[in-house]
Amino acid sequence: MVSDPSYGRRDFIKDSVRSVAKAAQEFSREADAVPVKGPAPVRTDWLRPPGAAGEALFLERCTQCGDCIKACPPGAIVAHGQDATPVLFADQSPCLLCEDFPCIAVCATGALLPVDGIADVQMGIARVSHRLCTAGQGCYACVSKCPTHALAVDVGSLQLTVAAEVCVGCGMCEIVCKTVNDHVAIRVTPAERALNVGLPRKLS
């Protein structure tokens, strides 16, 4: 094939620059493209509202009416993404243990059962990761905010302890820890699952 005699070095450089520029543009478009995301993973670390019956009975009685969600003053109770049953996420908005428990009062099906007071609530049990906890460095924020005084710092070991018989699983400690520390060292295990992993049932 005979080369075009009019095609010189300058033309070759121009074409080379254009090719590089085109390749750079295509690479940039691919890099800026928004990756296709799958569905967000469904969280399993939810808590049932105060007074919730045992899980099997709760699911049998709950009609997903949303009345307890609407009645919750701080808006802590939300609808679960899969079945619309009422749940709370402690790291987003813990239960404030309202004195008159309006969520229980509006439940007409018995999915949420009456309680005599805060001490009778059994939403879960707080568990501490001593590896992440900064109590040994002087952080007692969760202790001072616990509404049932279930948390304490052992003087000898300087480790945070949880009195399972007093903890109601409201999640206040978890949100406080998340607010003041880089890593959340205390999390609430829901009541039903706490039994499955061998944590003690709250004493009645």
Q: What is the pLDDT of residues 128-158, one digit of tens each?
A: 999 999 999 999 999 999 999 999 999 999 9
> What pLDDT score does 203 carry?
37
Min mean pLDDT across 18-22, 89-93, 162-166, 167-171 is at 18-22
- Which is more confidently placed, 48 or 197? 48
Classify domain 55-196 at the CATH class level. Answer: alpha beta
> What pLDDT score does 197 carry?
44
Distance CA 141, CA 133 (A): 11
> What pLDDT score does 169 carry?
97
Give first-to-last CA distance, the chain, whole Å.
Answer: 96
Distance CA 161, CA 177 (A): 14
Mean pLDDT of 79-84: 94
> Is there a contact between 199 and 164 (Cβ–Cβ < 8 Å)?
yes
Mean pLDDT of 31-39: 58
Could you read off the pLDDT of 160-199 as tens digits, one per residue? 999 999 999 999 999 999 999 999 999 999 987 655 444 4
Distance CA 133, CA 181 (A): 9
The total number of residues written for the chain in this structure: 204
Please report, to the nearest 10 degrees, the dihedral formed by the alpha carbons of residues 90, 92, 97, 103 taken in order.
-110
Residue found under tokens 């009456």: 114
| Residue 170, C-beta contacts closer than 8 angstroms, at least 6 positions apart | 90, 94, 95, 96, 97, 121, 123, 147, 148, 188
Residue 5 has pLDDT above 60, yes or no: no
Mean pLDDT value across the chain: 84
- Which is more confidently placed, 38 or 132? 132
> What pLDDT score does 68 carry?
98
